[in-house]
Chains A and B, each alone.
Chain A
């Protein structure tokens, strides 16, 4: 498996992830897809269980970090591989859902993501397209 250049960027020890979307919410969902694809092939994940992540954040940069780390925490707490993501925003309140399934014996695994960092963190909109980036620690 390769880390495609449109979803990931280079970092010596860890991995840079990229999310894109027509809205900020879709962009952050895409960033979550890129993050969780480091750990497991999304095509192999069935949406059997749902987790909910909620947080308050006014800064889009910190919202990306809170969203990814909230998902990583929830996934680890419940022993799930996640593959689908939905996020909504009302003012500073963010409410997200993710779907996945427990890890299966023999399932091909990638590398564990420990957390989303603030390094090279940016969430920007340019010409109607949102792009989110940060380094995730693996």
Chain B
């Protein structure tokens, strides 16, 4: 990104001054100079387009891991007020609705698990359906799927996938309200037929990790974390159903925007006023897809527990937290001294509620919400804690990952899957994948430096670092 066009607001936040006659809200880009310099200029163009959408409250923002997306940049955050003509955008949520991370905390240590790691990785790979074309064992009738779309992870627990204790540590206790399965197309439901309990491909993964470093002892204690402990992170989303909801409404809202007189600087910003029939239909469908994703991660957590149970029968795997990345949620935020209900779009950004927030489970009420920055399979990930709203200037949002530093095509030119998997093995990281090409696309070097992203996230007040996790085994699609 050409940062000469930007004006620094602080050492860790920047803005693009408005050109003469330009009508848009302010924009804020969070990140160090080093991170911003690696971002594509398109990030700036895209967030400036978001800032021109109707009903935006405050600034349109990008997180430190931002990269060029479609419509919204990945790592984009924007709040809209329905009563002020605010919009909801399918492009502002993305195709993989409620893609997110379920993090499981175990009572195992690396020293205890290391001799079993090879067997564990192989069994996880054989058990967790991953990769394009792979299907799970669960088959649901259209009526049963509608129940899933209304009840999310709650449905999964009722069906025996996990325990009700899990739900305390999932956003919205595993079930968002406002889902309306009648707004989800038949094709979307058909696409989900074989995909409940599947991981997918691309940047999705299941990773066995070790807590290598604690940054914040108090928060780590609240989160039940200690050095040497084994965690499992499951990164995936709403699978075929969510993809089809995104597909259906992208075109529907793009056409509606024209009819409703909303000028779109980029068609991918396809949107409609929140209170319009089209906006309400999308909300009903999107919330259904969120519930689908929450159920999916609940099932995958259950399958993971079964594998661990077969290999280390006494192991306990508890849900640390489950965060979603691609959502639009109605939340209450204080803006210029007044609490307002706002629709917060987070596309490739994590919700990060601070200490004392009533939505948090009692265990985390003092520390703040666990926030997970998922890094590449060769470097590591971070667990952070949300800050109080006075400190977080981004409507309680934070980074969600390392963020890509280069395209998939560039990565394929630079790395070969088999060679990469062997190299990682030499570093003590076991990778199991059905796609060597996918492994090359996901090479650690294709991502930004996760340490820089986590550091910038902390410096910007978005969340504070609690623990660094090193991957030990990674299952990829």
Check if B67 is an interface residue, CB within 8 A of chain A: yes
- Asked if B318 is at the interface (CB within 8 A of a chain A CB), the reply is no
Contacts of A14 in B (CB 8 A): 69-70, 408
Contacting residues, chain B, for A13 (C-beta < 8 A):
67-69, 74, 404, 407
Q: B404, A12: Cβ atoms under 8 Å?
A: yes
Q: In residues 264-281 of chain B, which contact A (Cβ within 8 Å)?
A: 266-268, 270
Query: What residues of A have a CB within 8 angstroms of the CB of B343 in the complex?
Result: none
Please state if A110 and B437 are interface contacts (CB–CB under 8 Å): yes
Closest to B435 in A: A109
Which A residues lie within 8 Å of B434 (CB)? 109
**Can you name 30 A-B pairs with beta carbons within 8 Å?**
A1-B412, A10-B407, A11-B407, A12-B69, A39-B133, A66-B251, A72-B247, A73-B187, A73-B244, A76-B240, A77-B191, A79-B194, A103-B134, A109-B132, A109-B133, A109-B438, A111-B408, A111-B435, A111-B438, A114-B95, A114-B96, A115-B243, A115-B250, A117-B268, A118-B71, A118-B91, A118-B251, A118-B266, A138-B202, A138-B408
> B438 and A3: CB pair below 8 A?
no
Q: Which residue on chain A has the smallest CB distance to residue B411?
A: A3
| Residues of chain A with a CB closer than 8 A to B406's CB | 12
Chain B residues, Cβ within 8 Å of A12: 40, 42, 67-69, 74, 404, 406-407
Report which A residues bind B (CB closer than 8 A): 1-3, 8, 10-15, 39-40, 62, 65-66, 69, 72-73, 76-77, 79, 81, 103, 107-112, 114-119, 121, 135, 137-138
Contact A111 B437 (CB under 8 A): yes
In the assembled complex, the Cα of A73 lies from the Cα of B195 at a distance in Å of 13
CB distance from A27 to the nearest CB of B (A): 20
For the complex of A and B, the 3 pairs showing the least CB-CB separation, nearest first, are A103-B133, A119-B70, A112-B132
B267 touches A77 (CB 8 A): no
Known contacts being A11-B68, A76-B240, is A108 close to B435, with CB within 8 Å?
A: yes
Which of B243, B404, B409 touches A114 (beta carbons < 8 Å)?
B243
Say whether A112 contacts B477, CB under 8 Å.
Answer: yes
Judge whether B409 and A3 touch: CB under 8 Å: yes
Q: Is the CB of B96 within 8 A of A137?
A: yes
> Interface centre among B94, B95, B410, by most A CB within 10 Å?
B95
Q: Is the CB of B190 closer than 8 A to any CB of chain A?
A: yes
A118 touches B268 (CB 8 A): yes
Fill in one digit per residue for B404-431: 1 if any A CB lies within 8 Å of its CB, else 0. Answer: 1011111011000000000000000000
